[in-house]
Structure 1
Amino acid sequence: MYIIGIAGGSGSGKTTLVDGILSRIPREEIAILPQDAYYRDNSDIPLEDRFKLNYDHPDSIEWELMSKDIESLKSGQTINCPTYSYLTCARLEETIPIAPKNILLVEGILIYTSQMICDQLDMKIFLEVPADQRLTRIIQRDMDSRGRTALEVIDRYYKTVRPMHEEFIEPSRQQADMLVMGGGLNEKAAEFIAAAILEKLK
C-alpha cells in the first residue's frame, strides 16, 4: 500500500483535489481516509458548549485511533471508519467500512501536525492558497453544508481558524514533499499526482 497525505488550510480545496485525482484513477484502486472523521467524541458535553470548542487545534483529533486504522489498512484489514456530524459536533453511531486498497489517500488540515501520522505517509502534499481566497471558500462551504450564517463563520475564522492556521498548519507545510500552488483548483497538479499514482500501480 502506498499512502499519500493531502493537507492544507481550511478552504484550500483538498476535497476538490481528491475528486480531481479520483476522476483520473480507477476508483477500485484507492481508499480515502478523512481526518475529520476522527474528531474526538464530545457528545458527553452540552451542545452549546460543543459549539465553543476549538476544532482547528491538533488536540481535537483522536490521532491514536487514526494511526491505528492506517496500520490496520496497511496490514490488509478492513476498518470501521468513524463518522462525525458538523451540525451536532459529535461522533455518530454509524461507521463506514473501508477496505484496504493499493493506494490510500489521507486528507485533512492538521495531519502534518502529527508526527505519528507523518511517519506513516509515503508522500506528503500541501495545498498553498492565499488566506483571502480560503476565507471566501470557508464562508460559502459553512453556509451551504454546516448550517452557519456568514457572521458566525467570519467570527469563528478570526477567533480560531486563522490563529490555528498560523500556529500549527502553516508551519506543518515544512513536512510536505510537494506544494500545490492554487490548491484544489490546480488541475495540472491533479493530473501530475494521478500520473504518479498510475505509475505506482504498475
Structure 2
Amino acid sequence: MDKPYVIGIAGSSGSGKTFFLKSFLDHFSTSEITLISQDDYYIPANTKTQEENRLYNFDLPTSIDRNAFYADIKDLFDGKTVYKEEYTFNNPALKPKMLEIKPANILVVEGLFIFHYEEINQLLDYRVFLDAEESIALERRLRRDLVERGYDHDDVMYKWINHVVPSYNEYLLPFRETCDLVIHNNTDEPAVIQSFTNDIASELRQRIY
C-alpha cells in the first residue's frame, strides 16, 4: 500500500484527547483509518509494590518501549497488521484485550511523547495539539483516575505535581507552536470538539480522496 497520511495527536493530561479521538475516528470507516497509541507501549510496571508504583514516574520518555512503538508504526507503513496487548495501567480489575491494528490510508498516532521522539515526529504529516487550563485539566484527571483506574486521591495529586506537570512542560509544551492545529479545550461542551473534528475530517477527505 502507499504510505498512509499520518496525523499526530498529543496534548496535556486532561486536555480531552480521548473524546477528540473518538469524535474524529467516527468520521471514517475502520478500513479508512487506524489508531496506534503510545499508551499501549508502557514498559510493564505491574511487578512493583503499591508504594513503588505510586513513586514510579510514568511521565518520562523512558517509560515507553520507544523502539517497539516505532517498529509497529513502520510495520503499518509496510501494510502489515500489528497485534498488541492493550495496556491497562496496572488496574487488576481490567483484563487486557489483544488489539488488532490494521493498516489504512489514514494513520493516527497518539501520545504524550510523539513530537519528542524525533524518529516518530518526522513521520507525521499533520500535528494536532490539545491543551487546557491546568485547573480544568486536573479536574478531568482526577475524575478519570479515581473512577477508571482505581487510584486514590493522594496518588493522583502526587503524580500530578511531581510527574505530570513537569513532564508536560519539558517534553510536550515546547512543540505547541510547531503544530498545524492547536485546540484550547477548556469546556466540556462536545460541540466544540466535534466542530474541529468535522473540519479536519472534511479537509482530509478532500486531500486524500
1:100 maps to: 103
Contact 2:54 2:159 in 1 (8 A): no
Quote the offset at 1:154 in angstroms.
1.6
Quote the offset at 1:141 in angstroms.
0.5
1:146 maps to: 149
Equivalent residues in 2 for 1:29-108, closer than 5 Å: 29-43=32-46, 45-46=48-49, 48-88=51-91, 95-108=98-111
Q: Which amino acid aligns with 1:125?
A: V
Give unpaired runs (5+ residues) of structure 2.
Answer: none
2:17 aligned residue (7, 14, 17):
14
1:198 aligned residue (186, 201, 205):
205
2:31 aligns to what SS in structure 1?
helix
2:167 aligned residue (150, 164, 169):
164
Quote the offset at 1:88 in angstroms.
4.8
2:196 maps to: 189
Contact 2:131 2:183 in 1 (8 A): yes
As a proportion of its length, which structure holds more strand?
1
Cα deviation 1:118-152 (Å, max 9, x = unaligned): 01111111012111111110000101110012232
Cα deviation 1:145-188 (Å, max 9, x = unaligned): 10012232122211111111112221132442221122785322
After the TM superposition, list the runs of 4 or more consecutive aligned residues in structure 1 that deviate by more than 6 angstroms.
none
Structure 1 vs Structure 2: percent identity of aligned residues?
Answer: 30
Equivalent residues in 2 for 1:119-158, closer than 5 Å: 119-158=122-161
Contact 1:63 1:117 in 2 (8 A): no
TM-score, length of structure 2 as denominator length:
0.86
Tell me, in whole angstroms, the C-alpha distance in 2 between the residues paired with 1:152 and 1:43: 16
Tell me: CA distance 1:93–1:130, structure 2 relative to 1, closer, same or farther (3 Å): closer
Q: Which amino acid aligns with 1:186?
A: I
Contact 1:126 1:173 in 2 (8 A): yes
Contact 2:84 2:100 in 1 (8 A): yes
TM-score, length of structure 1 as denominator length:
0.89
Q: Which amino acid aligns with 1:188?
A: S
Give unpaired runs (5+ residues) of structure 1.
Answer: none
